[in-house]
Amino acid sequence: MEGGLSLLRNARPSLSSASSNIQPIRHSIKAEVQEIRVCTNRTCRRQGSLQILQTLSALAPPNVSVNSCGCLGRCGAGPNLAALPEDGGGVILVGHCGTPSRAAQVLVGLLSCGLDSDDAAAKTGLEALALRKRAENESDMGNLSLAEQLLSQAIQLKPFGGIHVLYKDRSIARLALGNYAGALGDAREALRLAPRYPEAYICQGDAFLAMDQFDSAEKSYLMSLQIDPSLRRSKSFKARIAKLEEKLAATDMP
């Protein structure tokens, strides 16, 4: 145990190398998108790119990362984003992504290997995101049962992306409501959907800790730390480890 707990004591590639391969917006992607970058430079930021970054981050499936980037060179057509195919082929530039609905439509189009969006899928994704945000507000106000219900409704919509986050959020709500088995089940489902999702490992560890399964809690926490080493600087993560050590000490007392 001590050896594991002692663990307590990113550079993204540049678009410049791919700039010569930038394709027109009508270009169809032949490989899966692995990353989407949203310009947050001054002009695009004024046009709402920070909201678009937040929306895409919430809607993207776990195999697609969403990051901010500098100017993409089309300031008059912003907010702009760039999609990077998995095979390292030509970068896709997409402009005029100024609303969440437009961003959702573009994301669905990119995920289906083209830019022809599925309006129904985009609408469902935004509906699930709205329910998630309502659940966050209700949770902040202490209305945990309502938050759980809203998250369940969002999960039932089966959105095209972000569902692993919904399970993680419902795991947190269920744990706070004392439903440890439900919280553990949701954390495991989030990990099934996103095997390298550190927050889901933390939720799994929290559920194990509440159930006094200390070895399993430790393994879950350390797995989250292995995926995201920056967690060692997190006050909340340190508090979890301290609580685990406190419970272990109590069980060792005669």
Q: Flag whether 79 is in a domain.
A: yes
Q: Tell me the average pLDDT across 198-215.
A: 96
SS3 content of the chain, % helix, strand, coil (to 5): 60, 10, 30
Do residues 209 and 142 share a domain?
yes
Q: Is-contact 29 85, C-beta < 8 A?
A: yes
Q: Which residues pair with 38 in a beta bridge?
A: 68, 81
Boundary of a domain, candidates 117, 140, 160: 117
* Amino acid 119: pLDDT: 80
**What mean pLDDT value characterizes the chain?**
84
Burial 137-149 (b: 16+ CB within 10 A, else e): ebbeeeebebbbb
52-56, 74-78, 179-183 — which one is most confidently predicted on average? 179-183
Do residues 248 and 127 share a domain?
yes
Question: Within a 10 A sphere around the Cβ of 19, how many other Cβ atoms?
Answer: 12
pLDDT band at 89 (very low <50, low <70, confident <90, very high): low
Q: Is-contact 132 168, C-beta < 8 A?
A: no
pLDDT band at 86 (very low <50, low <70, confident <90, very high): confident
Q: What's the domain range around 206?
A: 121-252
Q: Flag whether 14 is in a domain.
A: no
Do residues 168 and 83 share a domain?
no
Do residues 80 and 164 share a domain?
no
Question: Within a 10 A sphere around the Cβ of 165, how many other Cβ atoms?
Answer: 26
Q: Can you give the pTM of this predicted structure?
A: 0.81
Q: Is-contact 77 53, C-beta < 8 A?
A: no
Number of domains in the chain: 2
Q: Is-contact 135 173, C-beta < 8 A?
A: yes
CATH of the domain at 236: 1.25.40.10
pLDDT tens digits, one per residue of 107-117:
888 886 444 44
Cα–Cα distance for residue pair 39/52, rounded to 1 Å: 10
CB half-sphere exposure, 136, CA atoms < 13 A? 9
* Amino acid 73: pLDDT: 85
Whether residue 100 is predicted with pLDDT greater than 60 in this model: the reply is: yes
Whether residue 173 is predicted with pLDDT greater than 90 in this model: the reply is: yes
Whether residue 9 is predicted with pLDDT greater than 80 in this model: the reply is: no
* Amino acid 253: pLDDT: 60
Q: Flag whether 181 is in a domain.
A: yes
Whether residue 176 is predicted with pLDDT greater than 50 in this model: the reply is: yes
CA dihedral (225, 230, 232, 236) positive or negative:
negative
User: CA nearest 151: which of 142, 160, 168?
Assistant: 168
pLDDT tens digits, one per residue of 19-29:
333 333 334 44
* Amino acid 249: pLDDT: 86
Residue indicated by tokens 């307590």: 8
- The answer to which of 17-31, 126-140, 148-162, 181-195 has the lowest mean pLDDT is 17-31
Do residues 62 and 76 share a domain?
yes
Cα–Cα distance for residue pair 220/195, rounded to 1 Å: 12
* Amino acid 14: pLDDT: 41
Do residues 107 and 154 share a domain?
no
Helix (H, G, I), strand (E, B) or coil at 103: helix
